[in-house]
Every structure is written in structure tokens, then in C-alpha cells.
Amino acid sequence: MRATRLDGIPPTIFSTMSALAVRTGSVNLGQGFPDRDGPAGVLDAARTAIADGHNQYPPGIGIPPLRAAIAAHQQRHYGIELDPDREVCVTTGCTEAVAAALLGLVDPGDEVVVLEPYYDSYVAMLQVAGAVRRPVTLRAPDFRLDADELRAAVTPRTRFVLLNSPHNPTGTVLTREELQAVADLAIEHDLVVITDEVYEHLVFDDHEHVPIATLPGMAERTLTLSSAGKSWSVTGWKVGWATGPAPLVESLLAAKQWLSFSSGTPFQHAVAHALDHEADFPLALAKDLQGRRDLLCAGLAEVGLAPRVPEGTYFALTDVGHLGWDDGLEFCETLPERAGVVAIPAQAFHDDLDAGRHLVRWAFCKEPDVIEDGLRRLREAALEK
């Protein structure tokens, strides 16, 4: 038995593929989580918070030191000024922030423009909210945002853009020009932009993450979502946040209070410590991750799966059509058996199946020896169809 609001929504591909990795003893290059923990001082801060008795409900909006730390982070990195009491809300990971934003802001029938391939929770929560999604495809091989396709997706019923940059799963970091195209449309059509920026610090080479809230005229119409999980390698802590104009944050909180009510107290204290005292960790992580990106991309190229080199995030996308596979899902389903490796079929993230059928996502947020092991297995396997 299942409510119709979840019709057609499959189990999340991340749970399915991680369970497959465990079941088959495969190297998990699928779900994006690091296998090295974040900084020791941050882990200690969580233990200390528990020992110090920070174990009961915090305020739903989040503990004051964390909201202050989030506001200071936005100021320090991007020059964004926020009132921590009205323009910041702590959430249970960015996934809850997405859910609460959509449930708190979107009415049934509202059209929401969303980049595809998309993170799978967007589809589920848009459907639960009764929204109509208007996908705009980032297409292989470059995965850039096409301003004309974007414009064509907007209709008189459009009220929101759900943005994600740095973008999972393509690894695209939207340029200032691409973001300006979104901003122009948002201003012209009076749209609210909800932007998922969880990979904000994980950008490589000379690419730069530009929060769309910093473009002229956008601060007042942008709800920015992020989290600590990726930046401080604590994905299991599930501490995220939303920042933006008070009315948008209030609407998100109006929904969040009925989802989780509030988010884990000791982890909030520890993340406040991370933001205030381990501010450089994400930058060092990005440098290190860039080396692992290069390791994975070179190894994939060696087995005939040269990826588009990602500009940010944890992920690289390859086209398995080069090896004779016309279906990336079939490739991924049989990969554990053939090679002992798990990857994610990117078609799970598309409305436009033709654009995504051949694409497979590989995570490089793993330790170098894990990536090497995965690559060795791929080299030794029969990968061609």
C-alpha cells in the first residue's frame, strides 16, 4: 500500500546501489560519501557537546551559535549580510532543506524549472508538493546551461527555479554568465530561485563558485541551501541550512517544524565549531579531492571510459556507449558481477531519457587506494558489451 503522491517514485538509487555494493563486496564508487572522516577537532566538538549535556531539543530554527556561524560564513566567503535570527534556518541535511523549501513555498500546479540531470530527491519532493517540473537539460559532452532552453522552459505558470551548482551529477560549476541568464529570467518573470549549493567549496582548477544570491537583484528572491556534510566530510551528521530573505526562510521553517521539528543538537554545536574554527578545511579538501579526481579520470580513460573532467563536486560522468552499451542502467546492474565495482546510472536523474541513457556517474571522494582498487578491477574486467 502506498499513497498516490509517491506514484512512480522508486527507492532512491543511492540506497539501492550502496546495498548492492555491500551485498556483492564491490568497491563503492556510487553513493557520494567520503571514506575518511572530517577534521579531528570537529569530531571532538561533537563528543564534547554530548558530554556537556547538549542533548535535548534545540530551537527548530537552529541553535544561535550555529546560525551566527552560518551568517558569518556567508559574509566571509561571499559578502552576503544576513540576520542570523530571521534569515538563517538549520535543517537536517540539505535534503530536508529541499523538502521543506518545496513544501513550504510551492503550491500544487506551480511550475518549477529544474536543471537535469537532477538530484533524485528534487523529483520526489516536487511531486509530493504537487508541482509541475520543467526540466532544462545540461547535455553531454560539455553539460553547459543553454540560455535558450532555459528561457523556453518558463511559462506564465512558472514560479520557481530549482538550481544546483556545483552540479551533481555532471560536475559543472555554473559560470557567472550562465547564472546571469537564470537571474535575468527570474527578475523578468518574478521567480523565486531555490539553489542547492552543497558542493560550494569543492571546486577545482581555476573554477569559481558564484552564489546566485550575489548577482544584482537576486538576494531578495533567492533561498540558498547548503550543508556541512560535503565541506567537512561528515555526510552522516545531516546538518544543513537555508539562508535568504526572512519571508522565504519563514516558509521553509513552517514546513520543517512538521518534518523533523529540529535537528540534532550536538551536531549543530560541532558544525558551529567547524564553521568558526576549521574554516580552511574545505579548501584543503578541495585541493586533495582534485588529485583524486585526476586519478579517477585518468584511470577511467585508460579503460575506454574517458569522462568529462568535472569542475567541482565529488563526481565524474562517463558515456558507456563507447564500450558498446546503449543502457547505463544495465551497465551498472551488471558491473558488480563483472568487475566488483558499483557506479550510479545517471538516467535515474533525467526526464529526457535519451540525454541520460548512456551516462554513468563515478564518485572520486574515496581514498586513493579505494579508487586504485576500483580502477584495477575495471582494468581486469571485460567491460565491453
In the bound state with ligand GLN, the residue whose beta carbon lies nearer, of 87 and 196, is 196
Using rule CB under 6 A, residue 32 touches ligand GLN: yes
Task: Report the C-alpha gap between 62 and 82 in whole angstroms.
Answer: 15
Residue 356 in contact with ligand GLN, rule: CB under 6 A: no
Q: How far is the CB of 256 from ligand GLN (least distance, A)?
A: 17
Q: How far is the CB of 342 from ligand GLN (least distance, A)?
A: 11
Q: With respect to ligand GLN, which residue has the nearer C-beta, 31 or 127?
A: 31
Counting every residue written for the chain, the total comes to: 385
CB of 234 to ligand GLN, least distance (A): 13
Q: Give start and end residues of each alpha helix (H) in the chain.
A: 13-24, 40-51, 64-78, 93-105, 120-128, 147-153, 176-189, 246-259, 265-277, 281-302, 328-339, 353-356, 368-380
Q: Which is nearer to ligand GLN, 134 or 230 (CB)?
A: 230
CB of 51 to ligand GLN, least distance (A): 30
Q: Nearest approach, Cβ of 105 to ligand GLN (angstroms)? A: 21
The three cell numbers of residue 312 are: 567541482
- For ligand GLN, the closer of residues 49 and 342 by Cβ is 342
Q: If 0-12 CB within 10 Å is exposed, 13-18 middle and 19+ buried, where does residue 307 land?
A: buried
Residue 14 engages ligand GLN in binding (rule: CB under 6 A): yes
d(CA 113, CA 237): 30
Tell me: does residue 168 bind ligand GLN (CB under 6 A): yes
Q: How far is the CB of 76 from ligand GLN (least distance, A)?
A: 25
Pick 168 or 251: Cβ nearer ligand GLN? 168
Among residues 67 and 308, whose Cβ is nearest to ligand GLN?
Answer: 308
CB of 68 vs ligand GLN, minimal distance in Å: 27
In whole angstroms, how close is the CB of 93 to ligand GLN at the nearest point? 8
CA pair distance 18, 300, nearest whole angstrom: 20
Does residue number 16 form part of the binding site for ligand GLN (CB under 6 A)?
no
How many whole angstroms separate alpha carbon 26 and alpha carbon 378?
11
Sign of CA dihedral 287, 293, 296, 297: negative
* DSSP label of 231: T
Asked if residue 135 binds ligand GLN (CB under 6 A), the reply is no
> Measured between alpha carbons, how far is 53 from 67 in angstroms, rounded to an integer?
20
State the amino acid at position 226 in one-letter form.
S
Residues 250-309 that bind ligand GLN (CB under 6 A): none
- x/- mask, ligand GLN, residues 81-110, rule CB under 6 A, reads --------------x---------------
Measured CA to CA, the distance from residue 169 to residue 75 in angstroms comes to: 28
The secondary structure of 110-152 as a DSSP string is -EEEEEES--HHHHHHHHHTT-EEEEEE--TTT-PPPHHHHHH
Minimum CB separation of residue 134 from ligand GLN in Å reads 22
58 binds ligand GLN (CB under 6 A): no
Cβ closest to ligand GLN, residue 249 vs residue 348: 348
Of 164 and 224, which CB lies nearer to ligand GLN in the complex structure?
164
Nearer to ligand GLN, 26 or 95 (CB): 95
Among 26, 28, 31, 127, which residue interacts with ligand GLN (rule: CB under 6 A)?
Answer: 31
**DSSP, residue by residue, 294-337:** HHHHHHHHHTT-PPBPPSBSSEEEEEGGGGT-S-HHHHHHHHHH
Nearer to ligand GLN, 14 or 78 (CB): 14
Listed in sequence order, the DSSP H helices in 142-202 are: 147-153, 176-189
Copy the grid coordinates of residue 69. Answer: 556561524
Q: Which residues bind ligand GLN (CB under 6 A)?
A: 14, 31-32, 95, 168
